[in-house]
Structure 1
Amino acid sequence: MRILTLITLFIVCNTSLRAARISGKITDENGQVLVYASILVKGTTQGTTANKEGDYFLHLQPGTYTLVAQYVGYNRQEKTITVTTDNITLDFQLSLHQLNLKEVIVRPGAEDPAYEIIRNAIKKRPYYLNQLNNFQCEVYIKGQLQLRAYPKKFLGEKVDFEDGDTSQRKMLFLSETIARYSVEKPRRNKIEVLSTKVSGKSDEFGLSTPQIISFYENNIQVGRNLNPRGFISPIASGALYYYRYQYEGSFTEDGREISRIRVIPKRRYEPLFSGYINITEGDWRIHSLQLRLTKASQMELIDSLNIEQLYVPYNNDVWVIKTQVLYPAVKVLGFDAFGSFVNVYSQFNIEPSFTPKFFNNTYLKIYEGSNKKPADFWDSIRPVPLQAEEIADYHRKDSLEKAHKDPHYLDSIDRRRNQPHLFAVLATGQNFYREKKREIYTINPLLQTVAYNTVEGWLVSFGGRYLKRLDTIPASRRAISIEPAVRYGFSNHHLNAAGTFTYRHGRKYFSSISISGGKWVYQVNNANPISQFSNTIRSWLFERNYAKFYEAWYARFHFSKDVGNGISLFGGLKYEDRIPLENTTTYSLGDRKSIEFTPNYPIEIMSENFKRHQAFIGNFGVSWLPGTKYIEYPERIMNIGSKYPTFTLSFTQGVHNLLGSDVDYAKWRFDVSESLNLKLGGNFRYNMSIGGFLRRDSVAVIDYTHFNGNQILASVEYLHGFQLLPYYKYSNKNRLYAEGHFEHHFNGLLTNKIPLFRNINWYLVMGANAIYADSDKEYVEVFAGFENLLKIARVDLVWGFDKGRVSTFGVRLGIRGFGKL
């Protein structure tokens, strides 16, 4: 590896010695810099791109060349130079396009000439979309995000970037990447990261995905999460329904006439672009474009996004993209940020020869040492010169990174981080760091520490976690964690204690094992359908003790392991000595005489509590996600999902007589789940299950098939539970049952036609949940509601049908990120 690196550096340095450096500045006629203008060697796709200050450079071997400077909306300029071994300074000054207007006979109601041009472009769209079935190119990616302003405090905490700089304007993120991008249509592509760097983070890998936003697609996905429905191209098959067009005139390049068309959305609050697109006359291809997305385009997360693209001829018939620049801007919660993300494409090969196994399930491969290249390597290879502020940011943050590794600095950071914060102490848990030893201590929040139920009365449950990373590499998976907990009930005077040890590892695929044991209190449905906090509120204030508890001495072993190709294995063993519990208090703040607490067992399926018994249980399962794609880092592989459903099969065995076990049963479960992106149609999600008992000689109520019900205002997990179902009403030990959860997220479809909802950006959501266990256990609920309330909330109206008849109605509220409330 060292020899190969030395040879590579020798070739680069030797080539640089013989080549001359051509550099200069690109401006308009008024001396204003043209940001990210392109410089091409005429007749080739070789070239470079200017930076945000208009400066460019490239290296050329001795010879005569014609350099072409281009910028969208400006006339290009050509200059011929003879290159020797001396450096050359060559500036360009571009003028705005002087557009020539076609002669148009003006009649009342006459159609703008732009429409005929767009119709022709729409007809040619499928041809250009599929023209390059295979290609390979090299991409330079530079991304930066800067702050213009930010608040002094956020959520009551001081905003500190730990860089010693208190100025409002600062560089938040700066990254560069050189990658090889390979495509074999219709579905196969691969990215290989050859070199990458992140300012101030020498162990990270930066932006490594060179997305080509193809406006030849009908529906365009720009990044992730900007709009789940995607955006409609100005030359999509149905674009004339969504856009108006204006012919602005034409200009000529290399004998080609190019028409400039203004793109105007017909309606606000549709996923549409506005701006300009330039179309070549006769062959009707995209020459360049300047398009914009705003909040009126139903864009999430950011306020605006400008997109610029420039295409250049590869040969007489094929054009390829040369540059693509995205300019995002966002203002949120007092933070005002803007940025630029430039992709420069070069070294195209439109007839590559791929080896049979070149395309596999690795979508993105980052090579060993790609983030360890020295500064002189980057100076010799980057096509876009760094700006002065970028050079300063690299120097400052690289120095800060070294300083941040100093033991005294780590101690000072620990002291600052480890100061208690009220919100963390109450709601999220307080962390205490020891960076030198790569350790984190976490204490559970008060909302998990103090609780109330009718079995234990008021209780305290002290717990936390100790986590230690075993490697110095921050992204390494190897870590251990220890989670001790102690619980005491003031009414039944029971003291319980337990602990869990977990080891995470896997240089390639993720694996984990955990061992736990002790004595603890559990819900009869071990999935915990009602949270401890919710049960406290319902019991203490409203005298509704929905949660049913038992106590157990236990020991458990659990493992999970990814084995590749989308396959994961999981399983474990557990032993429980299960002890029934009874109510020991009837205290409540409400003290309603008309309401009585129910016994501490599921009265829907039991007439008395279970008897103490022992259970030894083993389980094993396999999950498969076909077509899984991976990101392959030097030290690990990360699953990034697939467009196919996930299939999960599990088997559970209650082993009779082993260690005195009283249970004797066997049950299975098969799940299928998927999220379907219907683009403009929204997103459809489902989770379907089928299963049952193969044997049921001795089944304790704890081991029944339970469904996650809900009888409180806060919603349960939407694809894993029922919003109105009583918690244990349909629990069973049947030989066969089926369960299904379905929901469709319209993501702005329909509501964007209603002024009130489109202004506040609420999205319609509809769906249904169903159970079938036998003719006496049939339940369906349907719901409709709105999501994206204040960006985090969702409210649903739910109707429940028991055996085909409406049995109940309710309202449910969900808060993103809070799980079960």
Structure 2
Amino acid sequence: MKNLLTLLFFILLSFQAYVQVFVRGVISDERNVPIPFAKVYVKNAPENRTVSDVNGKYELALMPSEYYLVFESTGFDDRVTYVSVSNIDLERNIQLFPTKTLDLGAVDVSVKKSNPGRDIMLEVVKKREQINPWNYPHTVDVYIKATEKLDRKQKEAKQNNDVKSDDDPLDGDKKNKPSWTDNMNLVEVQLNRNYAPGNKVKEIRNAYTLRGTDQSLYYTTTVKSNFNFFENLLHLDDLHQTPVSSPISNPGILSYKYRLEKQYEENGRKISKIKIIPRNIATTTLEGYIYVIDSLWLVQKLELTMNKGNLLIYDYFTIEQTFEHPGDTMCVLKTQTLNYGVKYKNETSKCVTTAIFSDYKFNSKFANKFFGTELAVTEKEAYEKDTAFWAQKRQSTLTEEERKFIIAKDSIRDYQNRKEFLDSVDKIFNKITVLKVLWFGVEHRNRPKRTQYGFSSLATFVQPIYIAGPRLTPAVDFFKKWKDERTLDSYTRISYGILNQDIKGDTWWKYKFDPFHYGFLRLAFNHDFDVIRGFDAITQVYKRENFIEATKARTNLEYEIFNGCYIDLSIEFSERRSLKGYKFLTVADSILPNNQPKEFNSYQALIGDFSISYTPGQKYMREPYRKVVLGSAWPTFTLIYERGIPKLFGSDVDHEYLQFDITQNFKIGTIGTSSYRVSAGKFLSTRSLKDPDYKYQRRSDPLWFSNPLYSFQGLNENLITSDLCMEAHFVHHDNGAILNKIPFMKKTRIGMVAGIGGLYVKEYNWQHYEILAGLERNFKLSRRRLRIGVYATFSDGNQMTPKLNWKISFAVLDDRSMKWNFSGHLGGLT
């Protein structure tokens, strides 16, 4: 019970809502006449203050808590009142009474020290709706230049011709070029940005030139992130783990301290330089300076730095923005410079992205369906712009180093695209060497036909550990790519068992026929060992009773029929056989307990599967031959139907199964990221249901924390399901919102995680629920990010005794989606 209470305490902490609400009302005198310009502030915290307007109305933003508010005005007695602020706005009207004349002569008048920096920012915040350019529809031309410089401390290891690349196998070789050209990457973009209030955006890319790689470069498009500091929160999902509170907002007035550093004249105007200081490192991230034009209360420029704690990739990140002020009524973004970087073990990456905004056209008229889920369009011609185009359109002067780099890169590209060079590269690539035969594998490339095939190495030829003893497994692969990004990929393997002298093998072919709509056609033939429960605890999947022999033919079609709606249609015919009669190596059975395979009569199974998933409002970027999905604010709905087709081709199965899933990831203000999954499945008929076709609940692993959205941490029973099964999971990562309140904890990157889960299996009347809480910490792993977690899980149900388990997990940050994924089979999604 003590452990449960502790876990519940942490859960409540994790889900605590850090929301700001408003206390508002009217300040009047004894005759109910409004008192203008009366001061209102929190007792013992006078920096939380406001002033009533000409009608006596006031509004003060506060966090949920208890406060004593002080109301004062010249000629009136001060009044102190108690307020209890919850999660809803509070109205409190106040009456002040005149000070008696007799008392005025006997009282020394004292004036509280004002905070001019905060007062100036209050004036800016009052005007932010008017001066915010994103409150008005407009178009603007944008030029972006992003540069990365690499400082390698140690000498690069000698390149090996045999090392395989993770990129397109038909890309050119990187030999025969100056080594310093690998120490810089540069991308230039020219686009037209269309915007309407409500965060409606559509970007038309007119030119995009990349020299090197853009893997570490940020803000090469305007649709993924918008540094609009006139909003309450900045949602920078691919940069920062939590939304960032803006210092130019009502909540920001409570989140930051403002100090007037100096005032100076510039172009006949007084400029106030105001320092921004976070009050609480747990909920605020920015610090730096904001420059304000006095009396007009317009932002001239800002220089802000993000604290390191919640940055996903980079070690530091600074933002500099300068504004123009047409008609002295609006702050129009002119230039934006981002400085950021990260340090690895043997190299340091320093990046700068400069964006120049020009030729604004406000009050633009857009067609009714101009804005939608397609946020950006890049045509093929955008990638074909030459140096003459950039010489005319480039709005940022190149440094001498950048100019030298561009000339060298263009020369290297021209040289490496010559037929003579490509032929020499292919000759080296196709050469058979001892190291290739022993370790890397032998490959052959035919560049004119855009094909490549390869043979496995001797290192992968022997498979020493397998279900029925060691095997010899030679393999061959094939790849072809067309200019329109269509691809054909295949893999074929022959397997010979030494212990049983049996021959097995498999081959699969994958044809990407429509890259834009994720269209795939797959075909596979297998004669090999298969598993009954592919998604089970690591202490169970290797046992012999989980294996059968299967000869299968399978084909499936995947396609996006319209934006956000994907179908997967497959059909498989198989003959399944028992492993009775096979020999097994039993020398390790005393260490890893094992058992005997199941005995059953061979049978045939023809099974069709159909799934459809839909994510409403899926946003994406269109490129010449593909689309880049950006995500959606809506959940993903998935419907799965499985049919065991009887009699056809001698099939012995006859069943129907239906499953419905809902999944979503979302952020809750500044308090973290939440994920949930709800699933319900039921067999509609089970006239002939075989072991591999039952549905199995994944059992828990000792010590290992498996994906909490798809499994339970304290479920040890083998629940074989042929009826209704329902489960629900919810996990919240606070991303440091709680622990960061402790001094110096933000630098540790330690965050809290909490969650709950429940399972109901009808045929067993099985009810199972779990509560979990833990700590997680991010680490650098080469050029990747690794998250290690330690968790306590409490499990209970109507057919088990309560138990507490301790678990660990490893998750890797996906470089493309910028989301944490559980690594390996046990944590991966199925």
TM-score (norm 1): 0.76
Q: 1:55 corresponds to which residue? A: none
CA distance in 2, matches of 1:206, 1:438: 35
Closer, same or farther in 2 for the Cα pair 1:490/1:801, shift >3 Å?
Answer: farther
Q: Tell me whether 1:494 sits opposite 2:494 in the alignment.
A: no
How many matched pairs?
Answer: 683
**By how many angstroms is 1:271 displaced?**
4.4
Match of 2:360 among 332, 348, 352: 348
CA distance in 2, matches of 1:422, 1:787: 41
Q: Is the 8 A contact 1:444 1:464 kept in 2?
A: no
CA distance in 1, matches of 2:654, 2:412: 62
**By how many angstroms is 1:185 displaced?**
1.6
User: Which secondary structure state, in structure 1, belongs to the residue aligned with residue 135 of structure 2?
Assistant: coil
Can you give the 5+ residue segments of structure 2 that lack an aligned partner in the other structure?
1-109, 164-172, 780-784, 813-820
Match of 2:561 among 560, 563, 577: 563
Structure-to-structure mapping, 1:157-172, within 5 angstroms:
162=175, 164-167=177-180, 171-172=183-184
CA distance in 2, matches of 1:129, 1:460: 68
Closer, same or farther in 2 for the Cα pair 1:740/1:620, shift >3 Å?
Answer: same
CA distance in 2, matches of 1:492, 1:499: 22
The amino acid that maps onto 2:488 is I
Match of 2:211 among 199, 217, 232: 199
Q: Tell me whether 1:469 sits opposite 2:481 in the alignment.
A: yes
Match of 2:232 among 201, 214, 218: 218
The amino acid that maps onto 2:334 is K
Q: Is the 8 A contact 2:682 2:725 kept in 1?
A: yes
CA distance in 2, matches of 1:123, 1:351: 23
Closer, same or farther in 2 for the Cα pair 1:195/1:447, shift >3 Å?
Answer: same
Q: 1:124 corresponds to which residue? A: 127
Q: Tell me whether 1:282 sits opposite 2:295 in the alignment.
A: yes
CA distance in 2, matches of 1:284, 1:545: 72
Closer, same or farther in 2 for the Cα pair 1:450/1:731, shift >3 Å?
Answer: same
**By how many angstroms is 1:317 displaced?**
1.9
**By how many angstroms is 1:575 displaced?**
0.5
Match of 2:242 among 229, 241, 249: 229
CA distance in 2, matches of 1:186, 1:701: 53
Match of 1:792 among 760, 763, 786: 786
CA distance in 1, matches of 2:446, 2:435: 23
CA distance in 2, matches of 1:581, 1:327: 62
Match of 1:319 among 331, 334, 342: 331
Closer, same or farther in 2 for the Cα pair 1:667/1:590, shift >3 Å?
Answer: closer
Q: Is the 8 A contact 1:717 1:819 kept in 2?
A: no
Q: 2:445 corresponds to which residue? A: 434
CA distance in 2, matches of 1:451, 1:288: 65
Q: 2:737 corresponds to which residue? A: 749
Match of 1:332 among 341, 344, 348: 344
Q: 1:576 corresponds to which residue? A: 574
User: Which secondary structure state, in structure 1, belongs to the residue aligned with residue 555 of structure 2?
Assistant: strand
User: Which secondary structure state, in structure 2, belongs to the residue aligned with residue 299 of structure 1?
Assistant: coil
Range with bigger deviation, 123-132 or 373-382: 123-132
CA distance in 2, matches of 1:318, 1:596: 73
Range with bigger deviation, 772-781 or 326-335: 772-781
Q: 2:150 corresponds to which residue? A: 147
**By how many angstroms is 1:373 displaced?**
2.8
Q: CA-to-partner distance for each residue in 1:620-666, whole Å, 9 max, x for gaps?
A: 12111110112111233333321211111121111111111111111
Closer, same or farther in 2 for the Cα pair 1:313/1:438, shift >3 Å?
Answer: farther
Q: Is the 8 A contact 1:200 1:400 kept in 2?
A: no
User: Which secondary structure state, in structure 1, belongs to the residue aligned with residue 506 of structure 2?
Assistant: strand
Q: Tell me whether 1:597 sits opposite 2:594 in the alignment.
A: yes
Match of 2:260 among 226, 244, 247: 247
Structure-to-structure mapping, 1:292-307, within 5 angstroms:
292-295=305-308, 297-307=309-319
Q: Is the 8 A contact 1:147 1:337 kept in 2?
A: yes
**By how many angstroms is 1:121 displaced?**
2.7
Q: 1:649 corresponds to which residue? A: 639
Closer, same or farther in 2 for the Cα pair 1:599/1:626, shift >3 Å?
Answer: same
User: Which secondary structure state, in structure 1, belongs to the residue aligned with residue 398 of structure 2?
Assistant: coil
Q: 2:396 corresponds to which residue? A: 384
CA distance in 2, matches of 1:556, 1:358: 43
**By how many angstroms is 1:423 displaced?**
14
User: Which secondary structure state, in structure 1, belongs to the residue aligned with residue 410 of structure 2?
Assistant: helix
Q: 1:374 corresponds to which residue? A: 386
CA distance in 2, matches of 1:614, 1:768: 41
Q: Which has the higher contact order (CA 8 A, sep 6+)?
A: 2
Closer, same or farther in 2 for the Cα pair 1:130/1:316, shift >3 Å?
Answer: closer
Q: 1:64 corresponds to which residue? A: none
CA distance in 1, matches of 2:770, 2:403: 60
Cα root mean square deviation, aligned: 3.6
Q: CA-to-partner distance for each residue in 1:332-366, whole Å, 9 max, x for gaps?
A: 12211212211111111110011122112211101
The amino acid that maps onto 1:510 is Y
CA distance in 1, matches of 2:141, 2:593: 72
Q: CA-to-partner distance for each residue in 1:273-324, whole Å, 9 max, x for gaps?
A: 22110123334332211112242x5323222222111111123422311111
Closer, same or farther in 2 for the Cα pair 1:361/1:270, shift >3 Å?
Answer: closer
Q: Is the 8 A contact 1:783 1:797 kept in 2?
A: yes
Q: Is the 8 A contact 1:558 1:572 kept in 2?
A: yes
Closer, same or farther in 2 for the Cα pair 1:462/1:687, shift >3 Å?
Answer: farther
**By how many angstroms is 1:419 displaced?**
9.5
**By how many angstroms is 1:389 displaced?**
2.2
**By how many angstroms is 1:667 displaced?**
0.9
Structure-to-structure mapping, 1:688-703, within 5 angstroms:
688-703=678-693
Range with bigger deviation, 443-452 or 312-321: 443-452
Q: Is the 8 A contact 2:525 2:553 kept in 1?
A: yes
Q: CA-to-partner distance for each residue in 1:366-407, whole Å, 9 max, x for gaps?
A: 134122233223222222232322222222111111222345
**By how many angstroms is 1:758 displaced?**
3.6
CA distance in 2, matches of 1:440, 1:748: 48
User: Which secondary structure state, in structure 2, belongs to the residue aligned with residue 719 of structure 1?
Assistant: coil
Can you give the 5+ residue segments of structure 1 that lack an aligned partner in the other structure?
1-106, 602-608
Q: 1:548 corresponds to which residue? A: 546
TM-score (norm 2): 0.75
CA distance in 1, matches of 2:297, 2:438: 63
Match of 1:521 among 522, 529, 539: 529
CA distance in 2, matches of 1:144, 1:470: 31
CA distance in 1, matches of 2:729, 2:692: 23
Q: Is the 8 A contact 1:196 1:205 kept in 2?
A: no
The amino acid that maps onto 2:629 is N
Q: Is the 8 A contact 1:421 1:430 kept in 2?
A: no
Q: 2:718 corresponds to which residue? A: 729
Q: Tell me whether 1:483 sits opposite 2:491 in the alignment.
A: yes
User: Which secondary structure state, in structure 2, belongs to the residue aligned with residue 339 of structure 1?
Assistant: strand
CA distance in 1, matches of 2:707, 2:374: 32
**By how many angstroms is 1:676 displaced?**
0.5
Q: Is the 8 A contact 1:329 1:339 kept in 2?
A: yes
CA distance in 2, matches of 1:668, 1:193: 44
Q: 2:75 corresponds to which residue? A: none
Structure-to-structure mapping, 1:588-737, within 5 angstroms:
588-589=587-588, 591=590, 596-601=593-598, 609-726=599-716, 729-734=718-723, 736-737=724-725
Q: 1:44 corresponds to which residue? A: none
Q: Is the 8 A contact 2:260 2:275 kept in 1?
A: yes
Q: 2:408 corresponds to which residue? A: 396
Q: Is the 8 A contact 1:230 1:271 kept in 2?
A: no
The amino acid that maps onto 1:654 is G
CA distance in 2, matches of 1:447, 1:714: 28
Q: 1:806 corresponds to which residue? A: 802
CA distance in 2, matches of 1:491, 1:712: 32
**By how many angstroms is 1:763 displaced?**
2.1
**Percent of matched pairs sharing the same residue:** 23
The amino acid that maps onto 1:434 is R
Q: Is the 8 A contact 1:713 1:811 kept in 2?
A: yes
CA distance in 2, matches of 1:206, 1:244: 29
CA distance in 2, matches of 1:155, 1:721: 45
